[in-house]
Structure formats: structure tokens, C-alpha cells
């Protein structure tokens, strides 16, 4: 069934064997790295989990990721074997420091959490991240969030200082540091509780890393960022990416945290996704002493996907993968047990509260405008005014996955009012969606691509309608269809060429309802469920 799902999107779903049962049960969670035979195949997640950092606390591994303008922020997943993961929580419930996070007076796309770092110290989880004021600026804030339980509640402290791409580190003498910066790296000492800056930043590294032989990166030398810090066998190690999308992984080491540091490229390979190297991630040690590394790879509009690489120590350096080269399939980490195949949740029946952890809002939600309890078993989205989808509050999103994935929703349109537009889309820039536009003359089916109405059908009289969006990494194409009976799906509109107009944020499935009439009191759309299918082909 998984092999047939995407290539046959142009025929009705009823013609695909087994698709009706998959739609009814919604038991597909998409990609999983576990091969079921003691091996795994990269990537760990075939979706957007950028800038990963990882720790082990007792028997659990925790990985954190960047989420930018999506809320809640700083998603955290957990695993017992580094291969099978589940959602654990978020470190940031919402952003209250600027009204534009509420889409008041503008928007804050590309802001929010960048390059999160996670550590556990004296019974507390610590998450640090930077919040730049716009793309390409050198201004913003640094934050530390703390919690006793990774599921929360979390307490956030916002620093006046801006520490870019931070790597939090607790030294064994009780001192606390952050290594940060882009190109030039700095060391800032924090107070013992890690909640304020103690000393001014000290420069510890300056200069570029020469492009390694065989790399497709266009320049000869690159600066580093994305620092993560460790102390192992008397050495301080700082891992950094360099080279961007075509990049590689660098490691610095020194006997003193202030340096001087020497450098070594510890991984450089583009074979698993040609021209796109693996770069930026973190080290973690198993109970048996083995070391592993989680590192991301840019896969265009589908996202920056994490890979798992074994680590071999050579002359005091952590060398990743197969002697610093490609590693796609291999033996799973030796954690002493075998665990069930698992992946972060995708499908949602909207039968329980709170909202499933697979979902993130575009900017802060207006909590008065959505509900899982007003109509039991449904996600109800009330409309707010917006001139276009990018300005619409309460757009509910989750990751598109590769190599192909499909999202299907059943929507009750009886509560829509004049000016409302509600449906299912693929959100980024450009975006596209299929939905219902309620007008005085009745309900109209529309497909919108890059802000333009591509096709429409007037006089949709029935109460329930089904929408489907399907995406693939083959050309980064998304297609849309609708059904009037939940069985036969009809292609509609044209294809979206998925892009990255919002840099570093991948495309997402999205449910929405907004109203385009100034001063109008919008209605509501009821989503009965969202069913996700995808995975290996």
C-alpha cells in the first residue's frame, strides 16, 4: 500500500487496495528508521527536525530541535534506543515578548527558537536557544528554559544578551558556559544557576575552515556556528557545522575551555543525498560506553532531517560514520534491549485533550478561537480576520514527510459564515490549499496556489467534505484533491512547486479557517480527523 499511495494520487482512493482501511484507522505514522532486524536506515526522521541536540538521562535519550515561528516551540522527542522516537513535549508554550507573535502589528516569521541546546544537570532539564530579530541580523535575545520533567511545566528566562547558536555546558568544577557565535566563536560564562550572564564574552576561535576535498561547497573557506560543548578525558570538545547545505562537521578540542583550540573535520560526505552534506548535531554516550552522533542533512522543502552515526575515537578525535564518510544502514546502538518500532505521532482523531504533540500553530494561537471540547471528537477552528493565509491566526500544522506523505481531513462546513475560507493546505512560501469559501450565494470549493485562485466549483450544498494533500520529494511537488463521499477523490486545481521562501522552515500540512471581510464575525469549521500516511517506498 505504501508503494502505491503517492504515485497513484491521480486516481480515486477507492481504487487503491487497502486505502479505505488505512483512512479509517489512521494507523500509519510515516517514516521509521528501524528495519526490524537489528539494523536501522537513515534518516532517523524523514521530516523537518533541524539543528538537533541530544542527551541521555538514565535510560532515556532526548533530542531537541529548532522550530522558529511555530508554537509551542523547541520540540523534544525521546527514545530508548536512539532509533525509535516519540514526542515528549515542548520547552516553550508561547512567545509573549512581542505582539507580532500574536500577528498584531505584523508577523515574526523566522523568529522564535533557533538552534536549541539541551542539557540535564542536578535534576533539572535545561534548554537554551537564541531568538534573532529577523534573518541575517546580529541582534536578539538568548533564553534558558528549565523543568524537572521534560514534559513540563517549563520556566523561561529571557536574557538581554544575544548569544547566537548557543551550546550550553556545565563544567565539572561547577562553572557554567555557553559557546556561541557565527564565524567567530565566543565563550560566555553564566551564573551557577545558568539564568544570567556572569562574565563578558571571550573570543575563543576566529577564522574559516578550508573546504575539504570532494565537497561541492562553492567557497574555499567557511566559518562555523551551531556549537555543542563536551568534556571528555580531559579535553574540551566543541562540535560545529561548516559549509551550509553542502557542508561538513568540524570538531575543535583543547585542554582549556578558553583555548587555544585545534580543529579537525570529523565527517564529510554527500552520498546519501547528493550535494547535501551532513552538518550540525550532537554527541551522546550509551551506558556501555559507546558514542553516537545525531546530525542533520538539508533535504530542501521537505526539511532538515536527522541522521544517526556511530562514533569511533581515533587519536582523541570523534570520527563519525564509516571513517568520516557515508553511513546509511547499520547495526542499531547496543542499549541492551530491543524496543518496539515507533515514530512521533501524526494521525489525530481529535478525540482527546490536550491537543496532540504532533501539532504546532503558526505563531501564537488565539486560544479563544479553537476548541476540542465545543464539539466532542472534533477540532473546531473559529475564523479571525486576515487578508491572506500568511496573516491568518490559528493555522494548525504538522510536518510534511519524505519521500512522500499524504494528509486527509474530513471537514464539516455547516458552521462557516460569509467570508470564511477553511480547508487543508501545504504551508510555506509559496503555499497552496484546497478548501471552502463561504459567500452570500453559498459555499464554493476553491484551490489556491501562491495566493491565486486556480479553480473553483460553486454551490457546494452538502455538510461534509473531504480534502487530501499529497507531497513528494521527487521534484518537491504537492497535489490536491477532494471527495464528496469520503471514498472517491477527485484531483483539483494544479500542483504546488514546494519552495523555501521562508528560509530554513520546511513545508507543512495545515488546517485553517480565516475570514476575509473586515469587521465580520466569522464562523467555524469542524475537523473530524486528520489522517496521515507515508513512509518507505
Spatial separation of the C-alpha atoms in residues 451 and 433, rounded to whole Å: 9
Cβ contact 356:345 at 8 Å: yes
Residue 492's alpha-carbon distances to 8, 25, 426, 487, 520, in angstroms, are 14, 25, 14, 15, 29
| Inter-residue contact 128 to 161 (CB < 8 Å) | no
Residues 301/506, Cβ–Cβ less than 8 Å: yes
391 is catalytic: no
Contact by Cβ (8 Å): 84, 146? no
CA dist., res. 503 & res. 245, Å (int): 12
* Beta-strand relationship, 167-170 and 155-159: unpaired
Going by C-alpha positions, the residue among 169, 156, 170 that lies closest to residue 90 is: 156
Torsion (CA) 68, 70, 71, 73 in degrees, nearest 10: -30
Catalytic residue (choose from 48, 51, 165, 526):
51
Q: Give how far Cα 283 sits from Cα of 59, 89, 171, Å.
A: 16, 21, 16
Task: Identify the H or E element spanning 5.
Answer: helix 2-5
- What's the longest Cα–Cα distance across the chain? 75
473 is catalytic: no
Q: Computed over its alpha carbons, how large is the radius of gyration of the chain?
A: 23
Contact present, 517 and 439 (Cβ < 8 Å): no
Query: How far is 467 from 470, CA to CA, in rounded Å?
Result: 10
| Separation CA 47–CA 117 (nearest Å) | 20
Q: Which residues contact 531 (CB under 8 A, 6 or more apart)?
A: 22, 23, 26, 347, 407, 408, 409
Q: Contact at 8 Å (CB) between 78 and 62? A: yes
SS3 300: helix
Asked if 22 contacts 1 with a C-beta cutoff of 8 angstroms, the reply is yes
Q: Are 31 and 534 in contact (CB under 8 A)?
A: yes
Catalytic residue chosen out of the listed positions 53, 225, 410, 428:
225
What amino acid positions are annotated as catalytic residues?
A: 51, 225
Amino acid at each position: 500500500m505504501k508503494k502505491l499511495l503517492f504515485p497513484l494520487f491521480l486516481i480515486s482512493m477507492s481504487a487503491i487496495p487497502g486505502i479505505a482501511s488505512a483512512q479509517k484507522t489512521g494507523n500509519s505514522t510515516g517514516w521509521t528508521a528501524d528495519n526490524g532486524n537489528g539494523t536501522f536506515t537513515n534518516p532517523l526522521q524523514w521530516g523537518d527536525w533541524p539543528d538537533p541536540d541530544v542527551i541521555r538521562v538514565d535510560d532515556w535519550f532526548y533530542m531537541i530541535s529548532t522550530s522558529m515561528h511555530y508554537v509551542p516551540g523547541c520540540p523534544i522527542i525521546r527514545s530508548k534506543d536512539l532509533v525509535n522516537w516519540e514526542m515528549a513535549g515542548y520547552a516553550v508554550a508561547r512567545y509573549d515578548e512581542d505582539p507580532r507573535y500574536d500577528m498584531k502589528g505584523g508577523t515574526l516569521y523566522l523568529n522564535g527558537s533557533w538552534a536549541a541546546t539541551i542539557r540535564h544537570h542536578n535534576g533539572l532539564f535545561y534548554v537554551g536557544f537564541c531568538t534573532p530579530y529577523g534573518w541575517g541580523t546580529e541582534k536578539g535575545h538568548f533564553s534558558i528554559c528549565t523543568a524537572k520533567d521534560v514534559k513540563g511545566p517549563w520556566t523561561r528566562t529571557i536574557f538581554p544578551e544575544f548569544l547566537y547558536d548557543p551550546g550550553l555546558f556545565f563544567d565539572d568544577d561547577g562553572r557554567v558556559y555557553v559557546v556561541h557565535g557565527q564565524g567567530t566563536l565566543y565563550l560566555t560564562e553564566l551564573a551557577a544557576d545558568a539564568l544570567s550572564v556572569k562574565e563578558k564574552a571571550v573570543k575563543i576561535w576566529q577564522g574559516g575552515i578550508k573546504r575539504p576535498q570532494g565537497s561541492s561547497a562553492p567557497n574555499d573557506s567557511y566559518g562555523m556556528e551551531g556549537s555543542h560543548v563536551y568534556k571528555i578525558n580531559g579535553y574540551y570538545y566543541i562540535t560545529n557545522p561548516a559549509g551550509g547545505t553542502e557542508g561538513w562537521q568540524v570538531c575543535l578540542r583543547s585542554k582549556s575551555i578558553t583555548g587555544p583550540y585545534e580543529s579537525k573535520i570529523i565527517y564529510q560526505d554527500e552520498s546519501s543525498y547528493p550535494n547535501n552534506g551532513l552538518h550540525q548535531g550532537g554527541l551522546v554516550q550509551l551506558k556501555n560506553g559507546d558514542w553516537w552522533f545525531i546530525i542533520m542533512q538539508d533535504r530542501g522543502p521537505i526539511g532538515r532531517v536527522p541522521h544517526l552515526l556511530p562514533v569511533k575515537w581515533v587519536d582523541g578525535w570523534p570520527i563519525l560514520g564509516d571513517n568520516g564518510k557515508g553511513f546509511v544502514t547499520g547495526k542499531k546502538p547496543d542499549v541492551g534491549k530491543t524496543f518496539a518500532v515507533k515514530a512521533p505521532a501524526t494521525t489525530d482523531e481529535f478525540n482527546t485533550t490536550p491537543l496532540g504533540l504532533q501539532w504546532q500553530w503558526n505563531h501564537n494561537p488565539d486560544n479563544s478561537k479553537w476548541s476540542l471540547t465545543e464539539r466532542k471528537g472534533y477540532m473546531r477552528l473559529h475564523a479571525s480576520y486576515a487578508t491572506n493565509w500568511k496573516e491568518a491566526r490559528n493555522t494548525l500544522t504538522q510536518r510534511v514527510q519524505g519521500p512522500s506523505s499524504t494528509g486527509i481531513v474530513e471537514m464539516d462546513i455547516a458552521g462557516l459564515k460569509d467570508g470564511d475560507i477553511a480547508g487543508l493546505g501545504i504551508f510555506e512560501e509559496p503555499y497552496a490549499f484546497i478548501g471552502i469559501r463561504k459567500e452570500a450565494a453559498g459555499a464554493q470549493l476553491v484551490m489556491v496556489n501562491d495566493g491565486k485562485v486556480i479553480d473553483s466549483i460553486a454551490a457546494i450544498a452538502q455538510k461534509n467534505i473531504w480534502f487530501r494533500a499529497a507531497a513528494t520529494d521527487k521534484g518537491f511537488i504537492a497535489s490536491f484533491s477532494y471527495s464528496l463521499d469520503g471514498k472517491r477523490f477527485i484531483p483539483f486545481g494544479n500542483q504546488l512547486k514546494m519552495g523555501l521562501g521562508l528560509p530554513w522552515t520546511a513545508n507543512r500540512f495545515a488546517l485553517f479557517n480565516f475570514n476575509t471581510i473586515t469587521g465580520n464575525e466569522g464562523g467555524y469549521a469542524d475537523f473530524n480527523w486528520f489522517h496521515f500516511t507515508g513512509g518507505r517506498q
